[in-house]
């Protein structure tokens, strides 16, 4: 097989360091990785201390780092690993507990690129299959980006070239922007995000207080149960506005943020003169539950051309089909640009589909939203 089969910019497989005190989990993850032609296990280690002591010798591109380990746990090992290898991609792995969800959020603020929930039991086939799919996709997309960054940079790349949102970025080439903003004044803001989304969302909601105060704001972030509970609390603190997981049947009002709860799709429906939340326990959409497309498509039935959608950093193409529907109904779509996205999958799919009225760095999205919701059309 050609070494460039899985990426013209990468000559060698992505090197992955697996760090977990469970021999069963280490063996399972290692088998999955070695079965992929574009990645390989660089090391399989039992503790965070082993990882810190051996990181320079192993020189991995990606580390899958367990949270709970003897000698040195994942959250303590994280800053030490990044101090020794600044462009290391770290994916935190943990079971679905509130404590581990909180630690995972802390890890993101300390420089981890992403997180993944481990199944409670590896004997549960469906849970193991989802974990397998999600982990390989995260390694592939995040590892490929850091390899592309390294290929385009001097050997000693500065820390700010880690694949995470940055404050400023060069504007995206104009040919991707193919539409004008809709003529109808926006009446609701719907947002979709995935990998890198929690940090991007917290940054965004900090700056859109005037929008939240006057218009409904609904968010779907690809995230499991418990994690969405913690994310809602973080969004409330960042925005200084009420934010919570949406409840089936509750009336949607301005002044608060509604977050799709992990494991259920969030839609909006008309109920008399009110707009209410409708949670859907149907199958995954675009491999995700919650998914962005159901929210986007349902918003059209309520707000028609007054729907304004934002697609932030994330893997895959979720939000693109719903975004097409929004544009067809007279609404508008804004996508985060590639330079400030951890992964330019979702926003890139929307941009390349030609449905975006703007493709902006993260720090320019909030000012644009405030402008548009204040009635300035451009």
Point out the residues that are catalytic. Answer: 194, 222, 318
SS3 content of the chain, % helix, strand, coil (to 5): 40, 20, 40
Q: What does the alpha-carbon distance between residue 377 and residue 186 come to, in Å, rounded to a whole number?
A: 10
Q: What ranges in 246-345 are assigned the alpha helix state H?
A: 292-303, 320-328
Q: How far is CA 38 from CA 32, 90, 124, in A?
A: 12, 18, 27
Angle at which helix 125-151 crosses helix 23-34, to 10 degrees, equals 60
Where do we find the tokens 């992964």?
Answer: 343
Lookup: tokens for 108: 């993101």
Helix axes 98-110, 227-239, angle to 10 degrees: 50
Contacts of 210 (CB under 8 A, 6+ apart): 370, 373, 374
Question: Cβ contacts of residue 78 below 8 Å, gap of 6+?
Answer: 65, 90, 92, 107, 110, 111, 112
Quick check: helix, strand or coil at residue 309?
strand
């Amino acid at each position: 097989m050609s070494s460039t089969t899985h990426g013209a910019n990468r000559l060698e497989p992505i090197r992955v360091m697996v760090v977990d005190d469970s021999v069963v989990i280490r063996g399972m993850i290692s088998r999955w990785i070695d079965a992929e032609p574009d990645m390989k296990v660089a090391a399989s280690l039992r503790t965070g201390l082993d990882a810190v002591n051996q990181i320079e010798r192993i020189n991995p591109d990606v580390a899958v780092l367990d949270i709970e380990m003897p000698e040195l746990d994942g959250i303590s090992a994280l800053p030490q690993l990044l101090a020794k290898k600044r462009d290391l991609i770290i994916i935190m792995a943990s079971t679905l507990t509130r404590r581990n969800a909180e630690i995972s959020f802390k890890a993101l603020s300390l420089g981890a690129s992403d997180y993944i929930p481990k199944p409670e039991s590896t004997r549960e086939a469906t849970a193991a299959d989802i974990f397998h799919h999600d982990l390989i996709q995260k390694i592939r997309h995040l590892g490929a980006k850091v390899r592309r960054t390294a290929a385009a940079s001097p050997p000693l790349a500065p820390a700010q070239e880690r694949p995470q949102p940055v404050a400023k970025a060069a504007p995206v080439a104009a040919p991707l922007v193919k539409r004008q903003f809709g003529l109808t004044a926006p009446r609701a803001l719907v947002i979709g995000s995935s990998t890198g989304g929690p940090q991007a969302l917290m940054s965004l909601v900090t700056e859109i207080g005037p929008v939240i105060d006057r218009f409904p704001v609904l968010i779907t972030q690809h995230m499991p149960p418990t994690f969405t509970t913690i994310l809602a609390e973080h969004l409330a603190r960042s925005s200084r506005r009420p934010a919570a997981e949406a409840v089936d049947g509750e009336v949607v009002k301005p002044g608060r943020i509604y977050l799709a709860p992990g494991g259920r799709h969030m839609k909006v429906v008309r109920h008399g003169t009110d707009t209410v939340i409708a949670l859907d326990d149907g199958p995954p959409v675009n491999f995700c539950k919650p998914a962005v497309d159901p929210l986007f498509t349902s918003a059209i039935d309520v707000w028609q051309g007054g729907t304004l959608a934002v697609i932030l950093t994330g893997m895959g193409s979720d939000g693109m089909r719903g975004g097409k529907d929004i544009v067809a109904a007279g609404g508008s779509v804004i996508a985060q640009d590639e330079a400030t996205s951890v992964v330019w999958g979702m926003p890139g799919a929307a941009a390349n589909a030609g449905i975006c009225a703007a493709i902006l760095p993260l720090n320019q999205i909030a000012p644009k939203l405030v402008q548009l919701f204040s009635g300035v059309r451009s």
